[in-house]
Chain A
């Protein structure tokens, strides 16, 4: 942004957006909720990419994490439970100038909104998706989520949940036309930031699952992983996340994984012994439905009138 360009002219932007330009209301999440870290990382991505707040729309469904747009200084759409994806797709469909983000939770995305999630992956409309996955329903007070581990004690399953969880990464990787799938954690701000930045820069539907701690209802779920970096598996590659050395050094378990390798991506997604973080899969060549949506923008009134009259001619008596 700052500095000398090759023609030695200093570009001073008309307006430089600071972090405070992306701040909205004071967050009302619980102290030590993982959502705070995600909010900060998203605001930093906006600042570092200098996204004009008026050209940026944060969309969400319903749930704790779906309060996200209220805490941003951009435009926001806090919609309906499970429906963030179709709303976000509609926003972007004919507005190439807008930067669209979706904040969604595990209930919102992987339960009530599952059909929309699957199809949004397939539409591959350009947007950044943050699945804040705490493996529990928080806002409605501790019900089992589709990503809750089997045996989770909750208000709907006081004797332990019955079914194994959905794996959001495996599920996403199984959808036709999937173009970007990554995983990160709320307790490593640098990795979180790098992942969201890569997702934002991806031309298409970028899906990021963020393991997010709920201090109130699922505090124990990621406790061990947050305390012990060895429980994580860092995916690295020249086409993957470019982490600073001191961040990468934290993880002794690493694997060289090419994000174009879908076969290995699916194998890694199913790994149970360690939690892989980084980019599982990225393909910039996939069909983008927003390109179809935007192929005929900007008709003038005269063009529209001519089109209507041509139609009326076809049906003329």
Chain B
């Protein structure tokens, strides 16, 4: 497809007859050494595609270290962007086209089965002229190997072309590549210009102009020398859309909920929620407090909430562990609180930048004693936005902490979704400062719902002493066994009352069949795509996706009965049945499976791993086919 004479860079052989392919969707990867800007390039390409009304899903490709050595095999840093003429819900399987800034970073992607035969690889070719013999040799060998393995490799003079415009090609090569991709995928140059301006809006005019120039140069070069181009027609839907990543959506949801205090301590991968809010929150009537530690962050939020300003804290697994005692205090003292948990790999410091759904049981059960609370999990970036609004409301209605679980996959994934339509009831009401009704006790638990109103400082005649000790309805410290039993019962009853308001989960597919896949959180897109593929092939498989984990959504046992087998798909650890020493006695189940087995007394199996990556639809499809003997 590439002009065979391109290496001569002869302007006279401009290719005008292009092969133009119209495609439903494509998966593009941009990989480089860390710090070469491949992520910025990928994010920009994703945003431009979203603005052209394509469906988009992006995933960051993150090396294990912050600054791995250059040209290291495991050092791939970059972005995967899946674009299509329909809504895209996940990262997909193998890439169709890859741009690589050096050949070595391709190996880790190949190890992760990110490519297939025929994948187009656009490879920086400057290495062949390196003055280090080993590098020249590595480059040639890899090139040969890639071609032998059936990849469609093109050598691209990225740096050489950039040097025509810029003295330092390390700054701006990513924009040149962006321009090249914009031509390959027939992107609108005006939208691309706007994106570059948005990306560099804080920079000087000189830097902006330089990057715009490089982007245009990449576009022109591709137009001149590449023999192929793809059209990805826009989605049919024309409703107004917004595009952002999951952490930005959590931050924007915080604004939409009318929350005034975000109290946090930096922790990957949750921190960028606060970065977003630090930029914008104050113009929406809120403040970000960076506390001295995770414990202080939640304690501060509890204080603000006690004083009537519903507050939120943002954290990840290790932070959840540190906050445990305060979470229990909020349960015991019945203080509304929203906790955003952007999960990462655990236990301990674990895999800070990687994907895992490991906090499920810790958030539901992690406190000593009984600590009933609401735990919900967003399954899309759109839900990241709306769930914060909902969580704030639930926290205040049921006077308890509410967890919103997200994960590293949603945190950095970019996806367009319908623009939310503001409703005034999203906002928290003003702090009630009217006199308290005399005689109403601070924990006057309603018999049916367990809910009590709470006096807020400033309310005359409402004075009481809140305590984390066992207490009676007056909030008096009470050690009598009957009082503790009763108080525990009323706190638990609130969850049952909330459960009454939930609908049974929607089943994706038939309500009966051979296999039911149950998922939660960010795996939804991959699960539903895999299930659809197998359904098309005749498999009797359905899926359901849980948004509420505590309390669990209604009717699960009845739903499960209609299927021969029930299996969760989740990203956390579970023993494989055939591992050494693993028997039905010793097998430790993945988290949702364990929880559902206890809850429904149904045999629930699981497909799970802790590779630190999102689960792609292909691997789920394979497992489903195996289960169904397809």
Contact = CB atoms under 8 A, between A and B. Distances in A.
Contacts of A304: 255, 258, 284-285, 427
A88 to B, nearest CB: 6
B325 interface: yes
A293 B282 CA distance: 10
A90 B458 contact: no
A309 interface: yes
Given A94-B261, A292-B287, A312 B300 contact: no
Nearest to A302: B424
Interface stretch (B177-185, B363-371, B459-467, B553-561): B459-467
Interface stretch (A75-83, A200-208, A240-248, A254-262): A75-83
Contacts of B465: 24, 58, 69-70, 72, 75-78
A261 to B, nearest CB: 29
Nearest to A21: B463
B466 A76 contact: yes
Contacts of A59: 303
A134 interface: no
B296 A305 contact: no
B303 A93 contact: yes
Interface residues of A, number: 58
Contacts of A115: 292-293, 296
Interface in B166-195: none
Contact of A93 (B258, B289, B461): B289
Interface stretch (B118-126, B147-155, B415-423, B535-543): B415-423
A54 B457 contact: yes
Interface string A294-307: 01111101011101
A47 interface: no
Interface string B263-303: 10000000000000000101111110101110111011111
A79 B457 contact: no
A77 B554 CA distance: 37
Contact of A88 (B53, B303, B424, B476): B303
Given A86-B303, A304-B255, A312-B419, A54 B292 contact: no
A8 interface: no
B255 to A, nearest CB: 5
B463 A53 contact: yes
Contact of B244 (A75, A83, A116, A315): A315
Given A90-B307, A315-B248, A119 B296 contact: yes
B13 interface: no
Interface string B84-124: 00000000000000000000000000000000000000000
Nearest to B303: A90
B458 A308 contact: no
Task: Give the interface size class of chain B.
Answer: 35 or more
Interface stretch (B57-65, B74-82, B235-243): B235-243
A276 to B, nearest CB: 29
A54 B464 CA distance: 9
A4 interface: no
Contacts of A118: 292
A140 to B, nearest CB: 15
A74 interface: yes
Given A54-B458, A308-B422, A95 B285 contact: no
B237 to A, nearest CB: 11
Contact of B329 (A53, A73, A79, A296): A79
A181 B326 CA distance: 29
A55 B458 contact: yes
A97 B283 CA distance: 23
B216 interface: no
Interface string B299-327: 11111111111010000000000000110
B500 to A, nearest CB: 30
A229 interface: no
B463 A89 contact: no
A234 interface: no
A119 B292 contact: yes
Given A83-B295, A95-B309, A316-B241, A305 B422 contact: yes
Contacts of B476: 25
A315 B284 contact: no
Contacts of A19: none
A118 B291 CA distance: 12
A95 B53 CA distance: 45
B51 interface: yes
A193 B136 CA distance: 82
A87 interface: yes
A303 B459 CA distance: 26
B33 interface: no
A90 B460 contact: no
Contact of B284 (A77, A90, A295, A299): A299
A47 to B, nearest CB: 15
A94 B309 contact: yes
Contacts of B463: 53-54, 73-76
Interface string A193-221: 00000000000000000000000000000
- Chain B CB within 10 Å, residue with most, of A54, A90, A309: A90
Nearest to B309: A94
Contacts of A305: 422, 424
B524 to A, nearest CB: 22
B457 A90 contact: no
A98 interface: yes
Contact of A54 (B289, B305, B416, B462): B462
- Residue in B240, B292, B305, B308 with the greatest tally of chain A CB atoms within 10 Å: B292
A311 B280 contact: yes
Contacts of B303: 59, 77, 86-93
B133 interface: no
B477 interface: yes
Given A54-B459, A312-B242, A312-B419, A87 B261 contact: no
A312 B457 contact: no
B469 interface: yes
A48 B420 CA distance: 53
A98 to B, nearest CB: 6
A299 B468 contact: no
A82 B435 CA distance: 32
B462 A93 contact: no
B458 A95 contact: yes
Contact of B325 (A80, A95, A293): A80
Contacts of A24: 465
A75 B457 contact: yes
Interface string B403-434: 00000000000001001101010010000000
Contact of B292 (A52, A116, A301, A310): A116
A128 to B, nearest CB: 16
A86 B427 CA distance: 25
Interface string B466-510: 111100000011000000000000000000000000000000000
21 contacts: A54-B461, A55-B458, A58-B465, A70-B467, A77-B303, A78-B468, A86-B300, A90-B261, A90-B306, A94-B260, A94-B304, A94-B307, A296-B286, A307-B255, A307-B283, A308-B252, A312-B420, A316-B241, A316-B242, A316-B419, A317-B240
Interface of A: 24-25, 52-55, 57-59, 69-70, 72-80, 83, 85-95, 97-98, 115-116, 118-119, 292-293, 295-299, 301, 303-305, 307-312, 315-317
Given A54-B462, A70-B477, A308-B252, 8 more contacts: A78-B465, A80-B326, A80-B468, A87-B300, A90-B305, A90-B306, A93-B303, A296-B287
